[in-house]
Chains A and B, each alone.
Chain A
Amino acid sequence: MITVREVSKSFSNQRVLNKTSLTCQKGEILGLLGPNGAGKTTLIRVLNGVILPDSGEISINGYDPVIDGHEIRKVTGIVTESAGLYHQMNAVENLAFFADIYGVKNKSRIYDLLRQFGLDDHKSKPIGTYSTGMKKRLALAKALLHEPSILYLDEPTNGLDPDGISMVLSYLKEYNYQNGTTVLICSHVLHQLENVCSSFAFLDNGHIIDSGSLLQLQEKYSTHIKLNIHTNMKIENGNVSGFPCEQLENNHIRVTVNHKDEISPLLKNILLEHWIHSVAIEEQDLESIYFMIRSRNNE
């Protein structure tokens, strides 16, 4: 379990973390979201004990990174933005080196991970010849070598193609499910995390402005629900069953309801005389919530 209480950190005169507080339960995948420069990377570095906070308290599995950094580093794996690999060495040499550093005795794990991340055919090539996506996958394999109980991932999908993103994210979800690993993912590509993280924390100007599961955040920030319905119903007086409605192109209408409970009766009413081919809830995705949180915070 990770607990951060009012942690602040400044570099020169610039405050990067400003009384940041967050909690990440054991086995949870927490998405740490925020714009560039929000303090996500600094927070990960502070959690790993490589940067000292100016103030505040941190507890990681009961350890304080300021005092027990070494113990924390033994059980954490990390993927940084730059991947941190040796470009002159090949994939096997890189993983073998880090296996020694992390005290991994079972060397077959190197080859298992290379296979799992689709790098088996490229294991003898120098990393300098790898694409950004391949480097990211190898960096993730490096972070998982010692089977850490906590994973810090800083922009793990940057530079990956859609296949790579899908491979990495589904592997992470599966790994978390099988091993109960606590995962903290920093990203600003929100839609990728929507189905991976169990909860989210929004960081802005070094401060957590809100956190919770997607459902909790939707309930908190959505005052109404917009439904995009594909139907042959034609709107005449701007409402359907008493709800405001607008006609869209190609047999689509947009109806605004106040609560999820109102959706089923509304659809039932429409279906009495018309067909419905699809229904989609608009502006309830993570990205819309993110902008709502930020705009409310900036008010």
Chain B
Amino acid sequence: MNRTVLKAITKKDIKDIFRSKTLLLTIILIPVIFSLIIPAGVVSTILYFDFELDTGTQKMLDKFLLKVGNEEILAFSLKEQLVYLFVNYMMVSLFLLIPVITASTIAANSLVGEKERKTLESLLFAPITVKELFISKILSSFIPAFSVSLISFILSGIIINGLSYSTFKELIFPSMNWIVLVLLLLPMVLILTILLNVLISSRVKTYQEATNLGGIIVLPVLGILIGQVSGLFFLGLGLMVILSTIILIINLVLLRQIAKYNDRHLLFEKQI
């Protein structure tokens, strides 16, 4: 594995993100919406506006809380309960959309962007292996998407703790759920998103085709979010570890498939 080649391609691709207004806007706007605007809006609405729940809704909320936590939570005030539920469960799945959308946007462009600019043939004519090309493209998506996710995580923490400290009198973020999310589930989901998008990007001829197909990856994350809101299941510690393990296995299988089915000749003929 030639590190100079990996570094050259990764550096070029990351610089390109800053040169492309669409890509740059996506990786700025998505984190701002999901890690700043939505949490700030929801948490401040809960804490600073007065409202009451009818008996039926209150019972349903108690059921949710019992399902996800311990009985101590039931002793919280209604506002505290809602903030607790939003920060530790709803927002976790909402937060997953940040790496998924940013990585999809970057990775979908990875190889098909080279095809559209007619530069893929320059890379395939060069003495670099297809493995080096794919790893560079994976790194070029992983580094910015993971960095954006980490920055979003810190910003969310500042916003949530800043808004809720006067109510809770302690820092409620990050909980163990968030730590496992950022260190385990998020990197796994991120790698899965990148692998699928790079694979799609290697097979299609236009960026539009790549984004159309790649967009499907958002659906399972939306499924998790709907599951949380409807109370069907909760993304707790156990489920996160199980999900991460399953995604890890899928990632390993995908990596093998990418290595097996993408040789130079196939890649070259797919771009003619």
Q: Residues on A close to B: CB < 8 A?
A: 11, 45, 48-52, 69-70, 73-74, 76, 78, 80, 82-89, 97-98, 100-103, 142
Contacts and interface: CB of A to CB of B under 8 A. Distances in A.
Interface of B is mostly: helix
Contacts of A50: 121, 124-125, 264-265, 268
Contacts of A70: 127, 129
8 contacts: A50-B264, A50-B265, A70-B129, A82-B121, A83-B118, A89-B12, A97-B8, A101-B8
A84 B122 contact: yes
A276 to B, nearest CB: 53
B256 interface: no
B169 interface: no
The dominant DSSP class at the A interface is loop
Contact of B5 (A52, A101, A142): A101
A101 B123 contact: yes
Interface size class of B (residues with CB under 8 A): 20 to 34
A87 B117 contact: yes
Contacts of A103: 2, 4, 127
Interface of B: 2, 4-5, 7-9, 12, 16, 19-20, 117-119, 121-129, 264-265, 268-269, 272
Contacts of A48: 125
B8 A52 contact: no
Contacts of A80: 121-122, 125
Contacts of A86: 12, 117, 119
Nearest to B2: A103
Contacts of A142: 122
Given A100-B4, A102-B126, A82 B118 contact: yes
Contacts of A82: 118, 121
B119 A98 contact: no
A102 B127 contact: yes
Contact of A84 (B118, B129, B264): B118
Nearest to B118: A82
A216 to B, nearest CB: 32
Contact of B7 (A51, A89, A100, A102): A100
Contacts of A76: 125
A87 B19 CA distance: 11
Contacts of B117: 86-87
Contact of B128 (A11, A83, A84, A101): A101
B269 A73 contact: no
Contact of B268 (A45, A87, A97): A45
Nearest to A96: B8
Nearest to A78: B125
Contacts of B269: 11, 51
A51 B119 contact: no
A279 to B, nearest CB: 47
B126 A98 contact: yes
A102 B124 CA distance: 12
A52 B117 CA distance: 24
A88 B264 CA distance: 25
Contact of A85 (B8, B122, B126, B127): B122
A104 to B, nearest CB: 10
A88 B16 contact: yes
Contact of B12 (A52, A85, A87, A97): A97
Contacts of A89: 12
Most buried by A among B16, B125, B127, B128: B125
A102 B269 CA distance: 23
B4 A85 contact: no
A76 B127 CA distance: 9
B76 to A, nearest CB: 53
Contacts of A73: 125-127
A47 B127 CA distance: 14
Contacts of B126: 73, 98, 101-102
Given A51-B269, A97-B12, A85 B264 contact: no
